[in-house]
Chain A
């Protein structure tokens, strides 16, 4: 992980003369790079959506849009937590398992009322996030290996609750929880509104609060942040807790939507979430990122998926190929843009 960071001085040193000769042009190109970095995904999303709505009659219909919005909501909530983690320079691979665990816990707890059904996944998944954060921040273990272990452990815990996956807990019809997942308000599903509210809150927290500035500072340069008096460890623990709790909440809402705690969900979800965050312009090296970009990234992934489904003749496996290729392209573009900005 630090390979690219430590590599930076070498490249900047060798490219310095070229940079010094054209300070005016590079200032403009830096602004352009920043613009592409932040809004590139949005431009692609708009473009793809326009092309798709002309190509397929059923793309821009109300039903399809509303389905896509609801389908995106759960991944978007996971990606929101992931954004915070990635901005600190970390990564959370446990979210897929926590998503499944959250769903099962919500369905299991729903017999004791909606409050239990919502609090249980939040608390349990949040606690697993705390453990992740403690191991990363206090014991200084590599985030990806810690959260990889948590991914395994959380899935094991989920299997233990469901008699090795044989037992699927159901959520009763007509309960408030079911209404929360399946009901609609103003034509859009309730999960969509919850997701939007969470993103507004997330954007405010990341942009306008002391905690948000700490998150950026830790990701930008951990040592410098520590010297400035930023509580580095506490910030890291907080972002992993947030990511775990949000993944649990997303799982709970998804279970409410499906009316059952399905055990096989969430496989590979961490990859989708990371892809969405990266596509949205957040740098994996940390220190730079946008909550709104992650939402755009999720929507872009879902639109591509929808288009592949609309074509029909294409197998759904093409979704994976396209996602992988897209992720690679975005990362290449980001690295290139980042290098240009670094020169200035």
Chain B
């Protein structure tokens, strides 16, 4: 009896911690929703939900790619720069029509992803440094191609940014479709298994005969392509190409969403549903603070605290 009572507390604590790591992000979203319904006027309107969803869609798309990269025990700091690059390339090639412009954007993004992947997979550079180089260079290239903000007048692009099906904006539909696709790839394909194995232990994956380099390169290319999609969608919503500020600090938002969503930075595990919820949580938190007239300074400080708490909570699982 005494033994049992002695043994239960740590067990319970571990269980609570585990529960918090897996479902904490959903609990957080639910809590914020309830709090907002009570204290924020006009929160329950469809218009408000649409605005929040449209704002969070690009972050979700970038975070999906980031989740894949973090699953391989890497990190991609160049996503913001790729968004900017996508914006300026879209502006440059929109004259040929939307589809050719999108193809060129995809080419540029694939180039950046290929460079990232090659540096990490073949040269063996740490991901944080390899993508740092592309982050600096990519933003520079975007600004060289298009030095300042440019208004875009293209009906196809405009409808992509503000149109929708049955009242649901295209942005949300695309983000949802991509989330399902990435979740399927991670859970149900050989590629997803290989990705997680590499994140768990790269030497072991190599010794097991997995195509480590190929998988890594595909992951970084996919991450860059997803970032480019987010860049194009954000540009379509703005109706303007803004390589100076588009995607600034996006790497931080994406990493936060992934980490808050319960994907450990140590690799080997990817939680796509959690990543989406993580992005929504940060969006709701920011929106709540802004709607109650808290200045941006406090919003940033609150975000910083949430990041540290989330990483701290995720730490225990990484050790087990």
Residues of A at the B interface (CB closer than 8 Å) are 1-4, 6-7, 9-11, 91, 135, 139-142, 144-146, 148-153, 155-160, 164, 268, 271, 274-275, 278, 284-285, 315, 317-325, 327-328, 331-332, 335-336, 339
Contacts and interface: CB of A to CB of B under 8 A. Distances in A.
Interface in B101-154: 115, 119-120, 123-130, 132-141, 143-144, 147
B195 to A, nearest CB: 13
B315 interface: yes
The 6 closest A-B pairs by CB, nearest first: A324-B137, A320-B140, A156-B300, A153-B304, A317-B143, A159-B297
A157 B297 contact: yes
Given A156-B297, A317-B140, A146 B308 contact: yes
Contacts of B202: 3, 6-7
Interface SS majority for chain B: helix
A324 B311 contact: no
Interface of B: 72-75, 115, 119-120, 123-130, 132-141, 143-144, 147, 201-203, 206-207, 252, 255, 259, 265, 267, 295-301, 303-305, 307-308, 311-312, 315
A141 B311 contact: yes
Contacts of B136: 268, 271, 275, 320, 323-324, 327
Contact of B140 (A275, A278, A321): A321
Contact of A317 (B126, B128, B144, B296): B144
Contact of B144 (A159, A321, A339): A321
Given A149-B305, A157-B297, A327-B133, 5 more contacts: A3-B72, A146-B308, A160-B298, A320-B141, A321-B144
Contact of A324 (B123, B125, B138, B267): B138
Contacts of A151: 252
Given A160-B297, A317-B143, A324-B137, A149 B307 contact: yes
A173 B15 CA distance: 62
A237 to B, nearest CB: 16
Contact of A153 (B73, B206, B301): B301
A9 B120 CA distance: 17
Contacts of A146: 308, 311
B216 to A, nearest CB: 9
Nearest to A322: B140
